[in-house]
Amino acid sequence: MDTMDLGILDIGEAEFYSGSGGFAGLRYKGEDYSHIILRRIMPMQEPFSYISVADHDNKEIGILKAVDDLPDNQRNIVLTELDNRYYSPEVLEVVSVQDKLGYVYMELRLKNKRDIEYRKSCAIKDVSRNIRMLSDTSVIIFDVDGNRYIVSDLKRLSRQSMRKLDAYLF
């Protein structure tokens, strides 16, 4: 029985690096890709496994099976690139909510992956599609700019925050 080639990168022949202009690059099998694009194939279930690696023209080079398989310096480059692409801070508090002209405007208190807390206002259109339950206890919010905000555990939100958010949970 023949096995299917899924295009998994051979880690022994791959070297991720930081290139000019802050772009992540990859040297692989004698080729140098100075600007690569990383995408999670299964962003919710396996955020650090099965990462599609494409060149600047969006042609897939291969799939990184697991970020943890990389040496520390390369792992940090890949994780930084994924953090930048998948900006998704944790929602700590829903400060205010305002429904206006078909948009929901929220002011949120957030925490990023580096544990820095800050406030941000965002606009959400079509809340039935852009505020979604991920599980019984977690929610993802997409704003009009394509940013993602995660409530990893609704139980951790204050009663006041839950009252403001509850009307939009379906």
pLDDT tens per residue across span 127-142: 999 999 988 899 999 9
Whether 73 and 109 share a structural domain: no
Whether 73 and 122 share a structural domain: no
| Average pLDDT value over all residues in the chain | 91
10-19 mean pLDDT: 95
pTM flag (> 0.75): no
For residue 44, give its domain range. 11-85
Is 122 among the domain residues? yes
54 pLDDT more than 90: yes
Is 99 among the domain residues? yes
Least confident of 5-9, 78-82, 149-153: 5-9
Q: How many CA atoms lie within 13 A of 142 on its CB side?
A: 12
Is 20 among the domain residues? yes
DSSP character for 34?
Answer: S
Is 96 among the domain residues? yes
1 pLDDT more than 70: no
Structural tokens at position 39: 């995408």
123 pLDDT more than 80: yes
Domain boundary pick from 43, 60, 85: 85
pLDDT of residue 64: 97
pLDDT of residue 63: 97
Q: Give the Å distances, CA to CA, from 25 to 16, 36, 52, 61, 88.
A: 6, 5, 14, 12, 23
Whether 80 and 94 share a structural domain: no
Q: Enumerate residues 6+ apart whose C-beta is below 8 A from 167.
A: none
Structural domain count of the chain: 2
Whether 131 and 75 share a structural domain: no
167 pLDDT more than 60: yes
Is 60 among the domain residues? yes
Domain boundary pick from 58, 85, 112: 85
pLDDT tier for residue 84 given thresholds of 50, 70 and 90? confident
How confident is the model over 15-44, as pLDDT tens digits? 999 987 788 999 999 999 999 999 999 887
Whether 98 and 143 share a structural domain: yes
Closest CA to 105 of 92, 115, 94, 113: 94
Whether 102 and 158 share a structural domain: yes
Is 6 among the domain residues? no
Pairing of strands 131-133, 14-18: unpaired
Percent of the chain scored above 90 by pLDDT? 76
pLDDT tier for residue 5 given thresholds of 50, 70 and 90? low
94-114 mean pLDDT: 93
pLDDT of residue 88: 87
Residue 76's Cβ-count burial label (10 Å; 0-12, 13-18, 19+) is middle
